[in-house]
Structure 1
Amino acid sequence: MSDRFDCKNCNESLYGRKYIQVEDSPHCVPCYDRLYANTCQECKEIIGHNAKELFYEDRHYHEHCFRCFRCERSLAGEPFTSLEDALVCSQCYCSEFSSKCVACDQIVMPGSKMLEYDGSAWHEECFVCHSCEKPIGAEAFIPDKNNYYCTPCYEGRVAPQCSHCKKPLTKGGVTYKNEVWHRECFVCTGCKAPLSGQPFTSQGESPYCVKCFSNLYAKKCAGCNTAITGFGDGKYISFEERQWHQPCFKCSRCSVSLVGSGFFPDRDQILCTDCNSED
């Protein structure tokens, strides 16, 4: 009597039948598929022993199920990426998720060199100087009115010139009477102290700090004998050849404020109505 040759799982005879060996134990095809075959991630069906199986990140697929979930093209042998549990071909991924070059309106492919600035993206070769049209690459550049310039072109052709030193002004600066200066070039005509961020005034076309203007040009208050500059003094009052800071315009005898009131000049003095009546 011949030895039995049975399926390890169901014990049915395997003589004359196809079987699959698993760890030295024979299994009939139905038992093998039920016990060892993987389930397709896409269709949830068993991937039979005679079906071509594709594997990606602990997930198994029939060959015909391994496809882009957007356009359903086969991904076998094609580049793809994964979005959560879904597979996407490179073309669909780029169309939906990749940046577009603002210069040529084409997709910037993942892995290719690109430049990003202020929320926009460029292919490296598309990011060029608006003037000389040479690629800027990783070099310094200067934005101006939605255009981008390499530093030499901006300084030589676009940047305004400082009214003092005549060199290009590429950032910051001071504008005064429709002219521009470097901050360090905008100084008091008298003492040469920097005026940027400081109160100043002018005499003709020349800017002066408060101190120089007061010493050189400001009129003196007839009350306190200090300069009337308009800086911190508020309004001032003028009568004949004399001027007063508003707080200094008061009766020479009783010191009551004469602002908005009648007054009487008495030689070098000014008197309120009451004091003038006493004379």
Structure 2
Amino acid sequence: MSERFDCRNCKASLYGQQYIQVENAPHCINCYDQLHANTCQECTEIIGHNDKELTFKDRYYHEHCFRCFHCDRSLSNASFTSHEDVLLCNDCYCNEFSSKCVSCNKIVMPGSKILEFDGSSWHEDCFVCHSCEKPIGGESFVPNENQYYCVPCYEGRFTPRCSHCNKALTKGGVTYQGGVWHRECFLCAGCSAPLAGQPFTSQGETPYCVKCFSNLYAKKCAGCNSAITGFGDGKYISFKDREWHQPCFKCSRCSVSLVGSGFFPYRDQILCTDCNDDD
């Protein structure tokens, strides 16, 4: 008498029948499908032993159920993406969720490099300088009226240039008589001392420090013989061809201040009323 060869589950004889071995135990086809076959994620039916099975993220599908949620196209041999547990072919995913390049109006495909700024998106090769048309990539750029420039082009077209060295003025400088200077380029025309943050004056359109202007152009006070520059309190008194600092405008004899008072010229002197009466 021959040894029995039965299904582990239903005990039906497997002689002359198809069976599947599970953990070294034979199962008839029916029991295998009921006990061990996976359930299709899409149709919830059992994926039988003769069905082609596809797996994605611990989920199982019949081959004919593995399809795009939107267009129903088969994904068994196509690129696809999972979005919120829904399978989508690349075309549907891109149409639904991918950004469009504002330059070429084409979709920026998943996995490709995308550049984003101020709510807009570009392909890497489409984000180019408006002037030289070279791709900007990850380099610095400057937006200007909905156009984008690489830094060299922006500086060349829009940044003011120093009146001294003619190089771009990219940060704070000095403005004088309609021109701009780097702070380190705004110099006295006489001694080349920096004038930024210092008192200065000019002769015509040329700037000078106080010392150089005084030595070269300022009139001398008739009282102290020092230059009258207009700095300090800036007040001076002029009479005929002579000028005085206001504190120096005094009687030549008694030294009383003549500011706001009557005075009398006497030869090279100026006299108060009392000293003039003495004569």
Alpha-carbon distance in 2 for matches of 1:201, 1:87: 75
1:60-99 pair list within 5 angstroms: 60-99=60-99
Alpha-carbon distance in 1 for matches of 2:87, 2:195: 64
Q: Which residue of 2 aligns with 1:185?
A: 185
Alpha-carbon distance in 1 for matches of 2:212, 2:39: 90
Question: Shift of residue 125 of structure 1?
Answer: 2.1
SS of 1:55's partner is strand
Q: Which residue of 1 aligns with 2:32?
A: 32
Alpha-carbon distance in 2 for matches of 1:74, 1:210: 86
1:249-268 pair list within 5 angstroms: none
Question: Shift of residue 147 of structure 1?
Answer: 2.3
Alpha-carbon distance in 2 for matches of 1:96, 1:208: 68
Question: Shift of residue 14 of structure 1?
Answer: 3.2
Question: Shift of residue 109 of structure 1?
Answer: 1.7
Root mean square deviation of aligned Cα: 4.1
Q: Which residue of 1 aligns with 2:134?
A: 134
SS of 2:11's partner is coil
SS of 2:55's partner is strand
Alpha-carbon distance in 1 for matches of 2:29, 2:58: 24
Asked if 2 retains the 8 angstrom alpha-carbon contact of 1:199 and 1:210, the reply is: no
Residues 123-146 of structure 1 deviation map (CA, whole Å, 9 limit, x = unaligned): 222122222323344555444333
Alpha-carbon distance in 1 for matches of 2:195, 2:245: 33
Alpha-carbon distance in 2 for matches of 1:200, 1:45: 91
Structure-1-length-normalised TM-score: 0.63
Q: Which residue of 1 aligns with 2:264?
A: none
Asked if 2 retains the 8 angstrom alpha-carbon contact of 1:173 and 1:180, the reply is: no
Alpha-carbon distance in 2 for matches of 1:36, 1:63: 18
Alpha-carbon distance in 2 for matches of 1:217, 1:44: 98
Asked if 2 retains the 8 angstrom alpha-carbon contact of 1:164 and 1:181, the reply is: yes
Question: Shift of residue 194 of structure 1?
Answer: 5.6
SS of 2:33's partner is helix
Asked if 2 retains the 8 angstrom alpha-carbon contact of 1:165 and 1:185, the reply is: yes
SS of 1:125's partner is coil
Residue identity in the other structure for 1:9: N
Residue identity in the other structure for 1:91: D
Question: Shift of residue 189 of structure 1?
Answer: 7.2
Alpha-carbon distance in 2 for matches of 1:84, 1:168: 52
Q: May I ask how many residue pairs the two structures share in their alignment?
A: 231
Q: Which residue of 2 aligns with 1:223?
A: none
1:16-165 pair list within 5 angstroms: 17-139=17-139, 141-165=141-165
SS of 1:21's partner is strand
Query: Structure 1's 113 and 210: CA in aligned 2 closer, same or farther, altered over 3 A?
Result: farther
SS of 1:126's partner is coil
Identical-pair percentage: 62
Residues 187-240 of structure 1 deviation map (CA, whole Å, 9 limit, x = unaligned): 677884463xx5978767677899999x97446xxxxxxx347xxxxxxxxxxx
SS of 1:172's partner is coil
* Higher gyration radius (CA): 2
Alpha-carbon distance in 1 for matches of 2:98, 2:212: 61
Which shifted more, 178-187 or 51-60? 178-187
Which shifted more, 153-162 or 100-109? 153-162
Asked if 2 retains the 8 angstrom alpha-carbon contact of 1:18 and 1:28, the reply is: yes
Residue identity in the other structure for 1:39: T
Q: Which runs of 5+ in 1 are unaligned?
A: 220-226, 230-240, 244-265, 271-279
Question: Shift of residue 158 of structure 1?
Answer: 4.2
Asked if 1 retains the 8 angstrom alpha-carbon contact of 2:188 and 2:209, the reply is: yes
Structure-2-length-normalised TM-score: 0.63
Residue identity in the other structure for 2:54: L
Alpha-carbon distance in 1 for matches of 2:73, 2:208: 75
